[in-house]
Amino acid sequence: MSKPRPTSLAQSLRRDDGLNVVRTGMTMRWHQDLYHRWVRASWPVFFAGFALVFTGLNLLFAALYALDPAGLIQAGGRQSDSVLFKSFIFSVHTIATVGYGNIYPDSTYVNVVVVFEVAIGILVFALTSGLVFARFSIPRARIVFSDVAVVRPFEGWPTLMFRAGNQRNNFIVEASVRVSILRNQTIDGRMMRRFFDLPLIRERSPVFALTWLVMHRIDETSPLFGMTQAEFDAQGDELIVLLTGIDSSVAQPMTARHGYGPGRVLWNHEFADVMRRDDHGRSLIDFSKFHDVVPL
């Protein structure tokens, strides 16, 4: 049984899923966004959909071939197979352009159906190849974010911190991170969801190779100024994180996103150290401690 989709934006970003929101009043039909649906679908769903379309098309044309039982000739004089089974096998040979030659058409009607099936088969396999290429060509960011964010004193100010780590052994160049707070506010008697950008101590990095401790100073201009752990959790604020850059291996833009909602921001905590040197003097990142925090 699948888990219900979250209604919180922060939870949705953590799961890389869509919001559980019912959209009404839209005129878009199911086929108008079909390409996007198939690109976003999981691999099991994608292969299951392809198998369903492939089987359905062959069953359809098998039924058309079966309308003329004498229109297909089986080599060697074998006629023990049922008409529908023989028609289905011939349809698979035709749409896949295998052409074994043990079953061949022998009537004008069947040859006309073959022409339509070959044309549709070329179109279906071209579309499928394009979808597979599109799914493989999309750059996937292997960026991990810490499970929680912390607030601790830094340079005389309470500072919001969270970690980001590059799990690949490559570089992300021109990396930049943006952090916003999503807050529900009542304005003129109406509830509104508003984003407030949080200025960062360092929001850009020329090369992101190991880890990045993203920090926001909570001063008088910060939307988090004066808040406590209990107030943050009760208010329902959500921190939205967007990290972008260029993957040096494929020279393509990549994007990673994350969110921290109530219970995911801990006051008066700090992260455990994950960087050290091994016996050969190389930098070592212990990802088993990447999410660990300790109270101050």
CATH topology for 30-137 is: Helix Hairpins (1.10.287)
CATH topology for 143-295 is: Immunoglobulin-like (2.60.40)
pLDDT band, residue 1 (cuts 50/70/90) = very low
Residue 139 confidence (pLDDT) above 80:
no
- Does the fold of domain 143-295 match that of domain 30-137? no
pLDDT for 55: 94
Residue 198 confidence (pLDDT) above 50:
yes
DSSP-assigned letters across all residues of the chain: -PPPPPSSHHHHHHHT--------S----GGGGHHHHHHHS-HHHHHHHHHHHHHHHHHHHHHHHHTSGGGEEEGGG---S-HHHHHHHHHHHHHTT---SSEEE-SHHHHHHHHHHHHHHHHHHHHHHHHHHHHHHSPPP-EEE-SSEEEEEETTEEEEEEEEEE-SSS-EEEEEEEEEEEEEEEETTEEEEEEEEE--S--EEEEE-SEEEEEEE--TTSTTTT--HHHHHHHT-EEEEEEEEEETTTTEEEEEEEEE-TTSEEETEEEPP-EEE-TTS-EEE-GGGTT-EEE-
Instruction: Encode pLDDT of 201-210 as tens digits.
Output: 999 988 888 8
pLDDT for 216: 94
Per-domain residue ranges of the chain: 30-137, 143-295
Instruction: Encode pLDDT of 74-107 as tens digits.
Output: 876 566 568 888 899 899 999 888 877 788 888 8
pLDDT band, residue 288 (cuts 50/70/90) = confident
